[in-house]
Amino acid sequence: MKIKSQLFLIVKSLLLLLTFSFSLSSSAADNKAVRLVVAAPHIVEMLYAIGAGDSIIGTTEHSDYPQAATKIPRIGNYAGLQVERILQLKPDYIVAWKTGNPEVDLNRLEKLGMTVVYSNPTDLKSVADELIMLGELTGQKSKANQIATAYMDKLNRLKQKYKTHQPISVFYQLWTAPLTTVANNAWPQQLLAICQVDNPFIALKGDYPQLSIEHVMMAKPKLIIIPTSTGEPNQIKGYWQQFNAIPAVKNKQIITVNSDKLHRMTPRALDELEVMCEKIDNARAVYF
């Protein structure tokens, strides 16, 4: 009986050892780094935010945050992707922007056997959803959930802080030539809404309508916001000084915001949103 008992213990120990070894092997396979070609700057930024930046083996122009992203090989831009170059890189996945990359190139890559995963953030909450999706794709679930939760907490804090503030009329000068603003469900318009502003052009056709100086003069905004950055230079404040009939010009209420932060659908947008809301509050103090 004693011998049988010893044999049983030996067999049991071997089975446990084999199970443990299999578990380690499976874990190593599950955590194998994926190789990603990423076709938009906001996706690159989110991957770095969740600790998966090293997975990126190719990306598009203007992917410049964080600094490490500037060293990633380029495989095209918003106007076109270098299909042959992407095939040479042999990525596990291509992560593309549903509405920001050329459909013809993505369709060609799929026909050639590439797996395309689409990023399609449409509102402020969907940024958190995207983070979680990318976390699952790269094996960074825990970090992605942490960043997504922090993002939603900050978004809700900003909503709560400004929800009772008196609205102020704002013209958001998205671009100068042609003069372009934001409306409807445009990403910057969603951010402006958090700060409690009245956009006189919100109901125009399309999310990014073009208009004339006369339209702005008739609207008489109390504040003009000009998004600008090194990557997206925009007309400076002096452009408006000749139009003193506009309250924003007359009262020197023309501000700038960092478009590199604000216009990318990433957690960093909330940092600049907070700055913008504070500047809008300063303008309120002039009028109310």
* Single residue among 128, 151, 174 that ends a domain in this structure: 151
Decide if 124 is inside a domain: yes
67 and 94 in a single domain? The answer is yes
Which one is predicted more confidently, 50 or 15? 50
Query: Residue 64 belongs to a domain with what CATH number?
Result: 3.40.50.1980
- Answer positive or negative: Cα dihedral of 120, 128, 205, 283: negative
Cβ-based neighbours of 208, under 8 Å, separated by 6 or more: 174, 180, 181, 182, 183, 186
Amino acid at 241: Q
**Range(s) of the domain holding residue 140:** 36-151
**CA–CA gap between residue 255 and residue 146 (Å, rounded):** 33
107 and 84 in a single domain? The answer is yes
Does residue 200 have a cis bond before it (omega within 30 degrees)?
no
State the chain's mean pLDDT as an integer.
Answer: 90
Number of domains in the chain: 2
187 and 252 in a single domain? The answer is yes
- Structure confidence at residue 25 as a pLDDT band (50, 70, 90): very low
Predicted confidence (pLDDT) per residue in 190-235, tens digit: 999 999 999 999 999 999 999 999 999 999 999 999 999 876 667 6
Decide if 16 is inside a domain: no
Decide if 31 is inside a domain: no
On whether the CB atoms of residues 114 and 58 are closer than 8 A, the answer is no
* pTM for the full predicted model: 0.85
**Strand order across the 254-258 sheet:** 197-198, 168-172, 223-228, 254-258
